[in-house]
Structure 1
């Protein structure tokens, strides 16, 4: 704990500290309210027949940098092809025919 919090001139520092803590607490409350709102929207989407897991994946992907996402997708597709996991798709069958 800083020394200035204990002496006579520490009142200002204590007031600043209290203000910081209270601001953080208010933001934490707002964050909780927003989290609850997001949960409600997902529940509404589920009620309307949308797949919540797919929606969460879309939200996650949209946050990513486009180039990095495309690079990652290319790597995943390469690995899937190496494991024969794309053989059941028209593109996978065409690739196998070329081999």
Structure 2
């Protein structure tokens, strides 16, 4: 048929166009927010660096704070063992 009705446009090939558009637009908005947040985080690290802090160490602390205490302790123990094995 050459004449498509609004209903046909909204569900082309069994796909609900409005729902699909909504999902895509939500993801796009969140990606923009993530980009803005990444810029803010970059600014904070630059501020820390300007204040004389070691950004690598700050990143490491942030990673460790996300882990369980037992996991951090295990990693630190292994690090110590490996250092001693290498004579460090």
The corresponding residue for 1:83 is 86
Q: Supply the RMSD in Å over aligned alpha carbons.
A: 1.8
Instruction: Provide structure 1 residue ranges, at least 5 long, that are not aligned to the other structure.
Output: 1-6, 86-99
| Counterpart secondary structure, 2:57 | helix
Give TM-score scaled by structure 2 length: 0.80
Number of matched pairs: 79
TM-fit CA distance, 1:41:
0.5
Higher strand residue share: 2
TM-fit CA distance, 1:70:
0.8
2:35 maps to 1:32: yes
Distance 1:47 1:76 in 2: 30
Cα-to-partner distance string for 1:46-90 (whole Å, 9 max, x where unaligned) = 1111111111111111111211111111111111112211xxxxx
Distance 1:20 1:32 in 2: 18
Deviant stretches of 4+, over 2 Å: none
Q: How does 1:1-99 map to 2 (within 5 A)?
A: 8=8, 10=11, 13-85=16-88
Distance 2:56 2:87 in 1: 25
TM-fit CA distance, 1:29:
0.3
| Counterpart secondary structure, 2:16 | helix
Cα-to-partner distance string for 1:20-65 (whole Å, 9 max, x where unaligned) = 0000000000000000000000111111111111111111111112
Instruction: Provide structure 2 residue ranges, at least 5 long, that are not aligned to the other structure.
Output: 1-6
